[in-house]
Structure 1
Amino acid sequence: MPRLLILLFNLLPLTALAEPVHLRLAGSNTMGATLLPALVVGQLQAQQATAVHTQPGQTANETVITAVDASGSPIRVDIAAHGSSTGFVALGRGNADLAAASRPITEREQRALHALGNLREADTEQVIALDGIAVITHPDNPLAQLTTDQLAQVFCGQVHHWEQLGVPGGAIHLYARDNRSGTYASFKAMVLAPRQCQLAHNAQRFEASEPLAAAVANDRQAIGFSSLAAVHRAKVLPVADGDTPALLPTSAQVASEDYPLSRRLFLYLPAHPKPQAMALAEFAQSPAGQAIVARQGFVSQQIEAQQVNTRPTMPPRYRSLAQQARRLSVSLRFQPGSAALDNKALRDIQRVARYLDQAGKLQRRAVLVGFGDPKDTPGRAALLSRLRAQAVRRVLAREGVEVLELIGLGDDLPVADNEREQGRLRNRRVEVWVY
């Protein structure tokens, strides 16, 4: 008997090694369709895993990825992509180790998941990519652009015919994502809810962006909205918010979040996550992960220096910057009602510092330009915008960056409509320029 016990004891480590590493992801279809599988495969390959195999799950919009790690242990990753809200439900029920969402967690969801910790902390709420909600029509539609007010009127059913928008076409056919979708939740939050209207009852609803975009591209009377990564043959319309210029969801305009319907793509982890879940999130944030983000048609958070074309409406100091310097592809934003940087900005600070270091521009080559929203007291908007730039300078200084100059431009050059709070929040930002 003792000899048998010794034999069994020696076999235990081998049995433990054979136990599969199992990771479960649930949530956003926008992310789960292609981006999450690509990130999982990329991470496995970076870890020298072998026999990596991707196959459809038992249900539509589900994926199973299997592999063998470097020590010979089996790995299994299940991805269930049925909408952002389903990710938070699965996380709360213990059916997921990580939730993917194409919109921020709501107050109600945060309260329901309080046992998992504060899911708005920097480690638990991680922005891994940017996306633009593209407003799409049939390729032959002659419409040149839309405002967010017009978008609301169309999707709420207040505008029924294309002729009301100045183009021929007859009745407007509406295409929208379903109620579980983070894309729909984002569109609702950015377009419908601020104007106190609801999606028209005759809109055709889709679980995923791919079939929606395909349907729009085949219907001459259609208008819809989808992830930028799923546009394909449809025509993408420029969108304006208030009096701001109409913009297309280009990589540059989405990276800076200047495009009115820009949104962030999130991974949410519990306060004490599985090591494999944390490892995947960190890989997604890495340069290798961000390269995969770009290849999948989303907008990465890697920092680039961009030329900005000057316009007569620019303030003289800003126009001079545009002529002599380059703007970095990020706008640093703040937590609502706070002078503290938001979670994305905290990681962007590290990316900015890394870029400046690699470019040999850590010392007195960067200029911070702060912006804000209108205030009743003269000069207050300019003061607050400069204070925002100072807050960014303090954080950059901890990363070894010595800033050349601070500029506060107040409520100049808004990127959103100041009539609504969400627009004012977007206008409170700091740009980084480099000589």
Structure 2
Amino acid sequence: MPHHSPARENETWPVTIAWLVIGFVCYALPWQAFAALPGSQGSEPVLRIQGSNTIGAHLLPELVKGLLVSEGFANVSSEPGKAENEQRIHGRSSDGREAIIDLAAHGSSTGFAALKDNTAQLAASSRPIKDVEATSLSASGNLRSAKAEQVIGIDGLAIIVNPSNPLDELTTDTLAKIFSGEVKTWEEIGGRGGVIHLYARDENSGTFDTFKELVLASHGKALAGGVSRFESSDQLSTQISADPQGIGFVGLSSIQKTKALAIADGESQAMHPSATLIATEDYPLSRRLFLYMKPDESNRWARALLQFAQGDQGQALVSASGFVGQRVQAVKMAPRASMPEAYQALARNAERLSVNFRFREGSATLDNKAQRDIERLLAYLQQNSKMDKQAVLVGFGDPKQDPARAELLSKLRAMAVRRELAKEGVMFRDISGMGDALPVAANSDDDGRVKNRRVEVWVY
């Protein structure tokens, strides 16, 4: 897979192109569509958003500006807020309406705290809501419902080192030993440079929560003492680009001038954080980017931003901001000898779509993202004339004592996806199950097994 490491200084042109497209689309829309949302009263914001620095540093401001443009606010600007990692975005329309939206990016956990004390209407999070957070907000409804929990993009947790570091890949097991302090020098793992310098995000960070869950806790480790901690992923990345002995973890959009390593988990192949492997969530350290809203939220701007983020314009801005959007695309995959023969044949003759379907834990029900991906896949099949026996569903799972049972369960997952699409008239060329073949995560823990229980889509 090609290495994907978007540098911030090279992102101006895709963002500019996305803005030109949005501007053209909005200019072509009837002005009557722009009268729905109320403006600010004095200096009061119409919407407050709190939470993840990963989302709030770059992506969220672009989505907010895009929403304002789509609502007829042609004069859009931003200014720093009262504290670091805060900003206020202004929009003013030709008829004098003004809208103010406040953003604060101090970590995912702060978003849920702000929802609870009503100081924000949306929480940005780079990890799923925790049980304790969902319980504390339960009086406002189910924060895990499809209305409350919305995936707006996919990110890859990149393990970064200085460009001079000769290492190219690591396993999650070795990573856990490094960040727990068990491995102290680069020479112990085949590198060079002496003592390893550890860099990590702070305790409020969803990026740290993700790393802790996917790397440390899954291997029974805890973060070592004396680690340099950062509220900002960009600041962490800048430090490592100047430290030949450094290693850290950041979101995909903050790789900057560092080097991202290929990562393997369990029996999976070592994978770089490429756009395709992150879109399908096969990359071992891929993660979802969320916006959460109370189910009973009455703020029309909050609902409008969620709708904008899920649409084509919003997803274009997700991609232009250095993350991976959820628009379905076809990708040619190279066959490998380690693949089952039937899968090699697919790789030779068909293309894989950039979407995987996954399920609620312990359930045959599609999760919230998968339910929206059904709509995206249907639109792709319709637009590309693939509705009639041009698509293939391939199910995968985790090991069982009886391999035949593993194969059957994996096929049943594929059939669950087929049921949803058959309602809209999709006829599939083939439905198959490959059991526990081609794992993308370790099967030694629940999270890995859930990730391996997936359905791929291929088209001819």
The answer, yes or no, to whether TM exceeds 0.5 is yes
Residue range with higher mean Cα deviation, 46-55 or 149-158: 46-55
Instruction: Tell me what 1:136 maps to.
Output: 160
Q: Compared with structure 1, are the counterparts of its residues 230 and 375 closer, same or farther at alpha carbon in structure 2 (3 Å cutoff)?
A: same
* 2:398 equivalent to 1:368: no
Amino acid at match of 1:199: L
Amino acid at match of 1:151: L
* 2:301 equivalent to 1:276: yes
Q: Distance in 1 between matches of 2:458 and 2:340?
A: 15
Q: Counterparts of 1:410-425 in structure 2 under 5 Å?
A: 410-425=435-450
- Which one of 328, 336, 351 corresponds to residue 311 of structure 1? 336
Instruction: Tell me what 1:64 maps to.
Output: 88
Q: Quote how far apart the aligned CAs of 1:396 are.
A: 1.1
Amino acid at match of 1:28: S
SS in 2 for 1:293: helix
TM-score normalised by L of structure 2: 0.90
- Which one of 293, 299, 304 corresponds to residue 324 of structure 2? 299
The percentage of counterpart residues that share the same residue type is 51
* 2:275 equivalent to 1:251: yes
Q: Counterparts of 1:14-413 in structure 2 under 5 Å?
A: 22-69=46-93, 72-273=96-297, 274-413=299-438
Q: Compared with structure 1, are the counterparts of its residues 430 and 15 closer, same or farther at alpha carbon in structure 2 (3 Å cutoff)?
A: closer
Q: Distance in 1 between matches of 2:421 and 2:454?
A: 15
Are 1:28 and 1:87, in contact at CA under 8 Å, matched by a contact in 2? Answer: yes
Amino acid at match of 1:73: R
Amino acid at match of 1:126: Q
Q: Compared with structure 1, are the counterparts of its residues 230 and 326 closer, same or farther at alpha carbon in structure 2 (3 Å cutoff)?
A: same
Amino acid at match of 1:301: Q
Q: Compared with structure 1, are the counterparts of its residues 282 and 379 closer, same or farther at alpha carbon in structure 2 (3 Å cutoff)?
A: same
Q: Distance in 2 between matches of 1:136 and 1:16?
A: 42
Q: Distance in 2 between matches of 1:87 and 1:18?
A: 25
Residue range with higher mean Cα deviation, 80-89 or 376-385: 376-385
Residue deviations 1:392-419 (CA, integer Å, cap 9, x gap) = 0001122332222101100011111111
Instruction: Tell me what 1:3 maps to.
Output: none
Q: Quote how far apart the aligned CAs of 1:16 are.
A: 9.6
Structure 2 gap ranges (5+): 1-37
SS in 2 for 1:379: helix
SS in 1 for 2:443: coil
SS in 2 for 1:38: helix
Q: Distance in 2 between matches of 1:212 and 1:16?
A: 36
Q: Compared with structure 1, are the counterparts of its residues 289 and 224 closer, same or farther at alpha carbon in structure 2 (3 Å cutoff)?
A: same
Q: Distance in 1 between matches of 2:220 and 2:55?
A: 28
Q: Quote how far apart the aligned CAs of 1:47 are.
A: 1.6
Q: Compared with structure 1, are the counterparts of its residues 34 and 15 closer, same or farther at alpha carbon in structure 2 (3 Å cutoff)?
A: closer
Are 1:65 and 1:77, in contact at CA under 8 Å, matched by a contact in 2? Answer: yes
Q: How many residues were matched structurally? A: 422
Amino acid at match of 1:342: D
Q: Distance in 1 between matches of 2:209 and 2:304?
A: 28
Instruction: Tell me what 1:6 maps to.
Output: none
Instruction: Tell me what 1:10 maps to.
Output: none
Q: Which has the larger radius of gyration?
A: 1
Are 2:39 and 2:97, in contact at CA under 8 Å, matched by a contact in 1? Answer: no
SS in 1 for 2:88: strand
Q: Quote how far apart the aligned CAs of 1:78 are.
A: 0.1
Structure 1 gap ranges (5+): 1-13
Cα RMSD over matched residues?
A: 1.5
Amino acid at match of 1:270: K
Q: Quote how far apart the aligned CAs of 1:177 are.
A: 0.1
Q: Distance in 2 between matches of 1:163 and 1:242?
A: 23
Q: Compared with structure 1, are the counterparts of its residues 161 and 49 closer, same or farther at alpha carbon in structure 2 (3 Å cutoff)?
A: same
SS in 2 for 1:44: helix
SS in 1 for 2:46: strand
Instruction: Tell me what 1:4 maps to.
Output: none
Q: Compared with structure 1, are the counterparts of its residues 83 and 320 closer, same or farther at alpha carbon in structure 2 (3 Å cutoff)?
A: same
Q: Distance in 1 between matches of 2:353 and 2:61?
A: 30
Q: Compared with structure 1, are the counterparts of its residues 16 and 412 closer, same or farther at alpha carbon in structure 2 (3 Å cutoff)?
A: closer
Q: Quote how far apart the aligned CAs of 1:116 are.
A: 1.7
